[in-house]
Structure 1
C-alpha cells in the first residue's frame, strides 16, 4: 500500500530570520502532517519577484553589516535592518495571508504573542 501524500497544516507558519550563508531569510518547521525542508525559498510560497528580491537584499544587508562575534557595525545599520525587516514581514504576510502566518524572529520588533 502506498502512503498517502501529506497534507499541509490548516495554517502554515513561515519563520522569518536571517542566518549566515543563506540567500533568503525564510524557514518553516515540519509538522506531523507536513514534512517540508527547514530552509525555504520565495518559490516555496509563490512570492512576487519584487518581494523575493527585497528579502534577498535584507539577508545580504545582514551579512554585510552584522558579525556573529562582534555584532552590528553600527547601531544605525541595526535599526535600518530592523525597520526594513518589519516592513518586509508585513509584505510577506500580505502575500501569504490565505494559507500562512509569518513569525518574525529578528530582534526587538518581533511580533508580540
Structure 2
C-alpha cells in the first residue's frame, strides 16, 4: 500500500521587519532552506509572496507535510497563519482515461487513470 499524500494550503502575514531589500533577502533565505528541506522530506509545493502576505501549497507524504507546516507555524517570520485546505491529494483523471499532458511532475505526479 502506498503512503497517503496530502495537500495543505495556507495563508500567513509577513512578520519580517526591515527594509524592502532586507525582506527580499529573508524570502530568498526561506526559499533556499525550503528547497533543501522539502526535497529531503519528499514535499513539493509553491510559495507566493508579496510584501504583506505568504500563501503556500505543500504536497507530499502526510507526516512530512505536517512536520513542514509545524515548522512554518513556529517561524517568527509568519503571523496569523490560516489553513485554507488540508486534504488527501487525489489525482483527477481526464475524461479519456489518460493522464492529461499538463499533469504535475514530481514525487506526487502519478496519475491513477488507466488507458482505455
Same fold? TM cut 0.5 = no
Q: Which protein is richer in strand relative to its size? A: 2
TM-score, normalised to structure 2, is: 0.29
Task: Find the structure with the greater CA-based Rg.
Answer: 2
In terms of fraction of residues, the more helix-rich structure is 1
